[in-house]
Chains A and B, each alone.
Chain A
Amino acid sequence: MARSTAWKRYNWRVVWLSLIYAAFLIAAVYGFKHAMIPAAFKYLVAVLPALPIIGIFGAMGRYLVEEQDEYVRMLMVRQTLWASAITLSLATIWGFLESFELVSHIDAYYVSVVWFGGLGLGACINRVMLGSPAAC
């Protein structure tokens, strides 16, 4: 399937943001591990790896604005809705399980990981429900 210009732009943005994420994460982990971060900058450095991830959410929004093919855009909107529904449901379930001390604590940033996984699952659901040839 030929990919649109908007999709190619989205992929480039995600690749760059992923590289920036890796660089920020390595730098933050190294800095904290070797106690190199001054107290005044600890919050800033800790937040640095989150910024490119937020950027990827922004890139997704930008893609939805730039995509000219309304059917393909609708497929992606469905994927993001499925991803959000799955992530929020799992986070809510896990929150209650954790409150009643039935499961161990999970760092909140895993919500993003589950959401990206939910996008893949959303593509599969699109394929089953609409027969769309999106990668699944």
Chain B
Amino acid sequence: MDNRLRLLRAERGWSQQDLAERLEVSRQSVNAIETGKYDPSLPLAFRIAELFDRPIEDIFVSPSRHSSKAI
């Protein structure tokens, strides 16, 4: 799933490790989410959204909307 996590993290000057510690997950989890290799669960997606104080859809691109735009 496409997302703006890397951008939001960079805006705050956080490393992947910094973000991982704030989310209480491993750095490899942050990397997998940022690169779109892993879609987080809803609870983790909410934790990410709350950390950046933004709605989930500002961070994660809905796969259905993404594909309909492509069409």
Given A130-B32, A132-B32, A70-B25 contact (CB < 8 Å)? yes
**Chain B CB within 8 A of A72 CB:** yes
Q: Is the CB of B28 within 8 A of A72?
A: yes
**Chain A CB within 8 A of B24 CB:** yes
Given A74-B38, A130-B37, A69-B26 contact (CB < 8 Å)? yes
Interface size on B, residues (CB 8 A): 14
Q: Is the CB of B24 within 8 A of A71?
A: no
Instruction: Give the secondary structure class of B's interface.
Output: loop
Which B-chain residue is minimally distant from A68 (CB atoms)?
B24
A72 to B26 CA separation, bound complex (whole angstroms): 8
Q: Is the CB of B29 within 8 A of A69?
A: yes
**Chain B CB within 8 A of A131 CB:** yes
Interface centre among A1, A4, A71 (most CB of B within 10 A): A71
Q: Is the CB of A1 within 8 A of B37?
A: no
**Chain A CB within 8 A of B41 CB:** yes
- The 6 A-B pairs at the shortest CB distance, nearest first, are namely A71-B29, A69-B25, A69-B26, A71-B38, A71-B32, A130-B37
Residues of chain A having any CB pair with chain B under 8 Å? 1-2, 4, 68-72, 74, 130-133
